[in-house]
Amino acid sequence: MTNFKAYLNHISLDCVIFGFHENQLKVLLLQMKYTKKWALPGGFVKKEESFEEAAERVLKERTGMDNIFLQQFHVFSDPKRSEMNPAVKDLEKSGSGEGLDWFSQRFISTGFYALVDFHKVDPAPDFFSDKCEWKALEEIDNLMMDHRQILDKALETLRLHLTYQPIGYNLLPKKFTMPELQKLYETILGKSLDRRNFQRKILSYKILNKLDERKKGGAYKAPYLYEFNLENYNKALKEGFSGSW
Amino acid sequence: MTNFKAYLNHISLDCVIFGFHENQLKVLLLQMKYTKKWALPGGFVKKEESFEEAAERVLKERTGMDNIFLQQFHVFSDPKRSEMNPAVKDLEKSGSGEGLDWFSQRFISTGFYALVDFHKVDPAPDFFSDKCEWKALEEIDNLMMDHRQILDKALETLRLHLTYQPIGYNLLPKKFTMPELQKLYETILGKSLDRRNFQRKILSYKILNKLDERKKGGAYKAPYLYEFNLENYNKALKEGFSGSW
């Protein structure tokens, strides 16, 4: 991007893109060309765009995907958050002064989290980065600016959502086993769960259809496959799990 | 406000201030001087302020109160939302051209909801309004711009929060009866609840201390008073009700 006049001043967005792969929760990150700092994919809002349209555009550019499950979760507005923007350093080092004024201004950033099917993502770096890679949560240390705080807040939000909303539709394959679903919950919550309690509880929410089909390969007594009951799943996503009050 | 240069362009906030009075959920609204439209209290972000500081400032100005319970809930960014800003009309009618450019720009607004003790609020209109009043939810019809949508989203968020978080500390007096707490829940949810189920459920969350004291006045067998167990209340506010997973 070089046509900064197409965008609104002061307004940015950052995306925490979660994928589930090899029983690990992973986040899509960019590595900046010059400072080598890791960052969340982000962008700005065009004068004729809504925030949601801008976030969809950024996600499409970084992942190649449309129709991603996307949720606003918090606005980050510390007046000093933009002071350490390494994009400025990157621009200085690259020799081109273009964009320095733009990136030197104060940005208030809205965080979006996205849940995606790991296998469908085709990661692509942006103008400032030369790498776009998945990192497992445990591998991630410091990130540029307040991006670590943004990631932590996304994770905290996701954990809180687990207490009243379903999860998994955008993260798991269409058919999955109970142990796979449990592993997803354990990964997000960062703790192990009792197998029988988990099963009893998740079944009580009526968001799963048990299939008359077992996982192929492996043991003689392979686990049954499940799929989400999308009608109930989407209802619970909107209203919270029923029977709450 | 006239010194528009002190504020960031394009960035605004709107506050949905809830109070509980005479068994009704009420919202603090402003009536615009010239167009007579009703509006949510709102404002802008100063160059050296965070969003939270700006929202606290706006709330202080409209209610006279400090330390209000305040929560961001959504960013409203429809590119056309500012086109119908009646502040522009009000300024034209008032004869002063000052501020016309400022109010004619596109604003992306972050919604905050606040929960306050009705009796502590001293409502004060702002520059554009000549009334600042509490309105019961059922009394509220159209509001200016997308403020009705902002109010509805705040209410939807509050209802969803009830499924996993406590509520009431900022809305009820320090000591309250079980029927008063139930009425608060019923008002927010917009439906009646079974008395015994409500009591069983709310007690299971361990956020209440039953006092050895009955409500004064009234019947021979007046209901017991309760207060919130703030330690558990605040923990549940942060982590969701325990035992969820």
Torsion angle of C-alpha atoms B161, B165, B169, B172, degrees rounded to 10: 60
CA dist B69 and B120 (Å) reads 13
pLDDT at position A216: 81
Is the domain defined by B176-239 classed in CATH 1.10.10.10? yes
For residue A40, give both structure tokens. Answer: 């969340």
Res. B243: pLDDT tops 70:
no
Which of A10, A189, A245 is opposite residue B8, by nearest beta carbon? A10
> What are B25's strand-pairing partners?
B20
Which pLDDT tens digit goes with each residue over B91-117? 777 766 778 888 889 999 999 999 999
Q: Do A244 and B162 touch (CB under 8 A)?
A: yes
Stated as kind and residue range, the H or E segment containing B25 is: strand B24-32
Res. A152: pLDDT tops 90:
yes
Mean pLDDT of A129-135: 96
Mean pLDDT of A33-39: 92
For residue B90, give both structure tokens. Answer: 């009000």
Best to test chain A binding among B77, B82, B165, B194 (most A CBs inside 10 Å): B77
Stated as kind and residue range, the H or E segment containing B87 is: helix B86-94
Res. A243: pLDDT tops 60:
no
Are the C-beta atoms of A185 and A207 separated by less than 8 Å? Answer: no
Interface of B with A (CB under 8 A): 8-11, 45, 47-52, 72, 74-75, 77-79, 106, 108, 110, 159-160, 162-164, 185, 189, 193, 198, 201, 239-241, 244-245
SS3 assignment, position A87 = helix
Q: Do B108 and A45 touch (CB under 8 A)?
A: yes
pLDDT at position B242: 57
Which pLDDT tens digit goes with each residue over A181-237? 999 999 988 889 999 999 999 999 999 999 998 888 766 778 999 999 999 999 988
Q: Do B77 and A10 touch (CB under 8 A)?
A: no
With bands split at pLDDT 50, 70 and 90, how would you rate the model's confidence at B137? very high
Res. B162: pLDDT tops 90:
no
Nearest partner of B50 among A48, A146, A7, judged by Cα: A146
Contacts of B198 in chain A (CB under 8 A): 245
pLDDT at position B100: 84
B78: nearest CA partner in chain A: A50
With bands split at pLDDT 50, 70 and 90, how would you rate the model's confidence at B166? very high
CA dist B35 and B134 (Å) reads 19
| B123: phi then psi, degrees, rounded to nearest 5 | -65, 135
Contacts of B8 in chain A (CB under 8 A): 9-10, 106, 108
Q: Do A240 and B193 touch (CB under 8 A)?
A: no
Q: Do A160 and B106 touch (CB under 8 A)?
A: no
Which of B48, B79, B239 is opposite residue A79, by nearest beta carbon? B48
Stated as kind and residue range, the H or E segment containing B110 is: strand B108-116
CA dist B173 and B215 (Å) reads 12
pLDDT at position B218: 65
How many angstroms away from the CA of A130 is the closest CA of chain B?
31
For tokens 């273009």, name the residue: A98
B242: nearest CA partner in chain A: A163
Fold adopted by B4-162: Nucleoside Triphosphate Pyrophosphohydrolase (3.90.79)
pLDDT at position A58: 96
pLDDT at position B244: 65
HEC readout, chain B: CCCHHHEEEEEEEEEEEEEEECCEEEEEEEEECCCCCEECCEEEEECCCCHHHHHHHHHHHHHCCCCCEEEEEEEECCCCCCCCCHHHHHHHHHCCCCCHHHHHCCCEEEEEEEEECHHHCCCCCCCCEEEEEEEEHHHCCCCCCCHHHHHHHHHHHHHHHHCCCCCCCCCCCCCEEHHHHHHHHHHHHCCCCCHHHHHHHHHHCCCEEEEEEECCCCCCCCCEEEEECHHHHHHHHHHCCCCCC
Distance of CA B128 to the CA centre of its chain: 20
- Cβ count within 10 A of residue B245: 17
Mean pLDDT over each residue of chain B, to the nearest integer: 91
Contacts of B49 in chain A (CB under 8 A): 79
Mean pLDDT of A150-167: 91
Q: Do A108 and B11 touch (CB under 8 A)?
A: yes
How many angstroms away from the CA of B130 is the closest CA of chain A?
31
Which of B9, B163, B239 is opposite residue A244, by nearest beta carbon? B163
How many angstroms away from the CA of B33 is the closest CA of chain A?
30
Are the C-beta atoms of B77 and A52 separated by less than 8 Å? Answer: yes
pLDDT at position A215: 85
How many angstroms away from the CA of A159 is the closest CA of chain B?
8
How many angstroms away from the CA of B49 is the closest CA of chain A?
6
Amino acid at residue number B241 = F
pLDDT at position A148: 97
pLDDT at position B94: 74
Which pLDDT tens digit goes with each residue over B204-233? 999 999 999 888 876 677 899 999 999 999
Which of A72, A108, A201 is opposite residue B74, by nearest beta carbon? A72
Which pLDDT tens digit goes with each residue over A72-119? 999 999 999 988 787 887 777 776 677 888 888 999 999 999 999 999
Contacts of A49 in chain B (CB under 8 A): 79
**Lowest-confidence pick of A64-68, A116-120, B85-89, B216-220:** B216-220
For tokens 């996307």, name the residue: A70
Name the DSSP class of A222. Answer: P
For tokens 């019947």, name the residue: B219
The share of chain B scoring above pLDDT 70, in percent, equals: 95
Q: Do B79 and A48 touch (CB under 8 A)?
A: yes
Res. A1: pLDDT tops 60:
no
The share of chain B scoring above pLDDT 90, in percent, equals: 70
How many angstroms away from the CA of B212 is the closest CA of chain A?
27
Q: Do A47 and B160 touch (CB under 8 A)?
A: no
pLDDT: which is higher, B89 or B178: B178
- Cβ count within 10 A of residue B140: 15
Contacts of A189 in chain B (CB under 8 A): 245
Interface of A with B (CB under 8 A): 8-11, 45, 47-52, 72, 74-75, 77-79, 106, 108, 110, 159-160, 162-164, 185, 189, 193, 198, 201, 239-241, 244-245
Would you list the domain boundaries of chain B? 4-162, 176-239
SS3 assignment, position B157 = helix
The share of chain A scoring above pLDDT 90, in percent, equals: 70
CA dist A76 and A78 (Å) reads 6
